[in-house]
Every structure is written in structure tokens, then in C-alpha cells.
Amino acid sequence: MQKPRKRKQPEFRQRPQPRAKPARPSISLGTNDPYPTHPRPTPEECRAVRDDLLAFHGFPQEFAKYRRQQPNSSFDQAHGFLKSDILDGDAKETVLDGLVKTVLSQNTTEVNSERAFESLKSAFPTWEDVLAAESKCIENSIRSGGLAPTKASCIKNILSCLLEKKGKLCLEYLRDLSVDEIKAELSQFKGIGPKTVFEIAKAISWVPAVADRNKTYLHLNKRIPNELKFDLNCLLYTHGKLCRRCAKKVDKQQTKESQDNPCPLLKYWKNS
């Protein structure tokens, strides 16, 4: 009797594992300088630019109250926010109010952004009302501030994420955090990111030509003396909106100052 043949067991070859892609190095806001060998700006340059812009523009009135409240505070340039700006504003202003005001202030004048905020609060008395509203209704209420669809989407996202993460529409807990902790918290919201004097910094060679916005912030945060950060940010922000040479876009409401007077930063452009 013939013995039954044993079936040959199939061989299972282990598939080669795909090679893991090397992780991209992450940049932590507020820690490392991406351009440690780039020697500019020096403290002397920072002070000279601050003094020249102050003499040319005067101190911007929209930031004056924060300067009076925190004359020696360090400016937190990440996200374009001052810790004193969002946290220590008007007595009746909440931290969330301050954040939304900052969103509405982008690419517009102070008058228009304040009008947009007042219109938003008039149409929707509480932030819960804003979150529940249709995006188009929010856009209509903030249209005077420009970029209404973008800003409405950003505001809705902030409120939605805040409710999901914290269970309520409140940012008062930020008052007890450090500057770095505040940055980390705000970075979680889509549309809230580093806002720097990027183009001007590149034009006067305070950062290498290949620098991007994030690395520009990191480098300047290391190089600019703390006591000058507040003034420089406010003055460069204002100058970028008013100066035709430094601004990419010209607002119809810009003052004749930018048309009739030379740019005080031209000498730094020539020396860059």
C-alpha cells in the first residue's frame, strides 16, 4: 500500500520592512537660533532702528496703552502677540476678546479692525452665539475689517477647538502661564501662527536671504535685546503698513506720510 504523500508546506517569506523616512527636524518656538553664525542685528543696530522709526512715526497710539501698562515687559514676538497685549488689556476685555481682536487687526487699519470687532459683538453678544452662527453671518458682521471669509473661518475654528479641548469658550487660564506656554497653547489654533516683520528683516539683512517666517522669528528673538522687543515690533509693524517701499500692498487709507517722506530704513538697506 502506497503511503500518502505529505503536502509540501508553503514557505512564507517575510516581506522586507519599508525603510522609515528620517524625521524632519522640528523647530521649537522660542528656543534655538537657526542662524547662530549670522551676526546681525547687533544690539546697537536694534536701538538705532528703534530710535529712527520712533523719530519718524512717533509711538503708535494703538499700542500706547500696553506700553504704559508694561513699560519694562519683554515682547513676545511669536504670533505677533504681546503677553501684555492679550492678557493685560482693558479691564472689561477678556483674553478671548484680545485674541479675536488680534485676528481682526490683520492686514487692515486700527479703525477698521475696531469697527469690525464692535460689529461682531453687537450682532453676537456672546462667543457661544458666534460659534452657533452661520459663517456668512459672521463674515457680514466683520466685513469692515477686510478679509472677512478668512477671518470668520479663523474665529470659528478658534472657538470650535477651544470648546472641544477645554469644554468652554474661555482663555482666562492663559493668564497663569509663562510666555512659552502661551505660545504652545495658541499654536494649536489654525490661523494663529508666527507673525513677524519678515520682509523688512530680510531687506536690511537681519536674517539670511533664505530665511522663512518661522526662522526669522527665532533668530530675531535671540538677537534683539528684550528691552527693545516691544518697541521694535510695534514700530516695524506700523512702518510696514505705512511705507510704500517696505509694504507689498498699499492701502487706500494710508497717510500721505508714506508718499511725501523718505523711508528712514533706506540707509540700512544700502548697508545690508
**Whether the predicted model's global pTM rises above the 0.75 cut:** no
d(CA 221, CA 209): 17
Among 65, 195, 202, 222, the active-site one is 195
Q: Which three cell numbers stand for residue 250?
A: 498699499
CB-based contact 159:103 (threshold 8 Å): no
| CATH tag, 92-177 | 1.10.340.30
Mean pLDDT, residues 84-105 taken together: 72
Q: Where does CATH 1.10.1670 sit in the chain?
A: 38-77+196-272
Confidence of residue 130 (pLDDT cuts 50, 70, 90): very high
Fold of 38-77+196-272: Endonuclease Iii, domain 2 (1.10.1670)
What are the tens digits of pLDDT across the range 190-247? 777 655 477 888 888 999 989 988 888 889 989 999 899 889 988 988 888 788 777 6
What are the tens digits of pLDDT across the range 25-59? 334 444 589 999 999 999 999 999 999 999 999 98
Residue 270 predicted with pLDDT over 50: yes
d(CA 221, CA 81): 13
On average, the pLDDT of the chain sits at 77
Number of Cβ within a 10 Å radius of residue 36: 9
Q: Where does CATH 1.10.340.30 sit in the chain?
A: 92-177
* 6 noted as active-site residue: no
Report for 95-109, 137-151, 215-229: range of highest mean pLDDT: 137-151
pLDDT of residue 29: 45
